[in-house]
């Protein structure tokens, strides 16, 4: 069982090297998500944000360097990582033919055992009471994103990596989703968030700026 002392690195990447189509994308990239933080990663198109997130969660294996999970080599602990780390991609990751309950049962059940009670609680927390058994294509984009967050939290994650989670939403719904992520952080979940939008700049304790595969800036969020 992993201990959670304060100021611990949840996930740390050191000396990442990554090539794409014979072009070096990262050469010596270092990144650490400290426990309890909300970290925003910003940067122009093609700067490497998605690639970094995918490497951090094990979806992209074409890299060199070291990854540690609570200071332990990640490659020896993938099972533990997969039950505690959630990746939310660009698109809302729900199956639209299925209902919210089915989405949660289907995906959460793959990595960890979650009870019907936990599923209902997660959907209730996301304001989806009354929609549990509606097929997801009948829900709004914001409600679908809430289903995907409910799916994330039903398994009690320690870390959420979210790649433009508000990208497909109007600004009001996007801010609601940001508030939900902020509330999850208040409950102790560390969040790494890729974003383009300026109106969510106030969220997060740290802002990292990437350019051409490099971290240009890593500083405290003064807007918070
Ligand atoms: N599978 C791949 N094969 C080849 N090149 C790739 C692959 N994935 C990404 N790249 C290249 O790596 C670079 C970084 O891409 P990445 O998607 O990480 O950028 P990004 O910062 O997320 O951009 P955006 O803001 O548009 O989402 C780009 O030049 C892209 O073309
Ligand atoms: Mg991207």
pLDDT by residue (tens digit) across 79-95? 888 888 888 876 667 88
Number of Cβ within 10 Å of residue 197's Cβ equals 15
- Region for 67 from its dihedrals, namely left if φ exceeds 0, alpha if ψ lies in -120 to 50, beta otherwise: beta
Tell me, yes or no, whether 144 lies in a domain: no
Which strands, in side-by-side order, build the sheet including 38-43?
Answer: 85-88, 159-163, 190-194, 38-43, 206-211, 214-220
Ligand 1 — pocket residues by CB below 6 A? 20-21, 25, 43, 45-51
Mean pLDDT of all residues in 194-208: 79
Region at 86 (left for phi over 0; alpha for psi -120 to 50; beta for the rest)? beta
* 1, part of any domain: no
Query: pLDDT tens across 141-186, in order?
Result: 889 989 988 887 887 789 999 998 888 788 888 888 888 888 889 9
Angle between helices 141-154 and 100-111 (to 10 degrees): 30
Asked if residue 105 is part of any domain, the answer here is: no
Q: Residue 17: inside a domain, yes or no?
A: yes
Q: Please state the rounded mean pLDDT for residues 54-58.
A: 89
Domain that holds residue 205: 9-91+157-220
Q: For the whole model, what pTM was predicted?
A: 0.86
Distance in Å, CA 42 to ligand 1 centroid: 14
The ligand with the least distance to the CA atom of 49 is: 1
Summarised one tens digit per residue, pLDDT across range 23-44 is 999 999 999 999 999 999 999 8
Domain for residue 172, yes or no? yes
Task: List CB contacts of 116: < 8 A, sequence separation 6 or more.
Answer: none
Asked if the structure places residue 167 within a domain, the reply is yes
Q: For 104-135, what is each residue's pLDDT tens digit?
A: 887 655 556 678 888 999 999 899 999 999 99
How far is ligand 1, taken at its centre, from the CA of residue 46, in Å?
Answer: 5
Residue 13 domain-assigned (yes or no)? yes
Query: How many structural domains compose the chain?
Result: 1
Ligand 1 closest atom vs CA 210: 21
Q: What is the CATH number of the domain that holds 68?
A: 3.40.50.300
Question: Is residue 103 situated within a structural domain?
Answer: no
User: Which residues keep their CB under 5 angstroms from ion ligand 2?
Assistant: 49-50
User: Does 6 have pLDDT greater than 60?
Assistant: no
Task: Give the number of the ligand closest to the Cα of residue 46.
Answer: 1
Q: Which ligand is closest in space to the CA of residue 21?
A: 1
Q: Decide which of 222 and 216 is more confident.
A: 216
């Amino acid at each position: 069982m992993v201990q959670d002392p304060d100021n611990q690195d949840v996930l740390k990447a050191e000396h990442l090297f990554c090539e794409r189509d014979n072009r070096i994308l990262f050469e010596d990239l270092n990144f650490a998500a400290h426990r309890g933080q909300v970290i925003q990663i910003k940067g122009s198109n093609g700067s490497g944000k998605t690639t970094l997130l995918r490497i951090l969660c094990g979806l992209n294996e074409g890299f060199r360097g070291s990854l540690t999970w609570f200071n332990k080599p990640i490659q020896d602990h993938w099972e533990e990582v997969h039950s505690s780390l959630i990746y939310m991609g660009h698109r809302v990751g729900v199956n639209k033919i299925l209902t919210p309950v089915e989405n949660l049962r289907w995906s959460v059940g793959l990595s960890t055992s979650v009870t019907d009670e936990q599923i209902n609680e997660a959907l209730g927390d996301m304001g989806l009471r009354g929609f549990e058994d509606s097929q997801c294509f009948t829900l709004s984009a914001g409600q679908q994103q809430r289903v995907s967050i409910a799916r994330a939290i039903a398994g009690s994650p320690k870390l959420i990596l979210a790649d433009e989670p508000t990208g497909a939403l109007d600004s009001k719904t996007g801010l609601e989703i940001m508030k939900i992520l902020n509330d999850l952080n208040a409950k102790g979940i560390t969040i790494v968030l890729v974003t383009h939008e300026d109106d969510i700049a106030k969220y997060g304790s740290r802002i990292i700026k990437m350019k051409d595969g490099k971290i240009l800036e890593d500083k405290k969020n003064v807007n918070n």
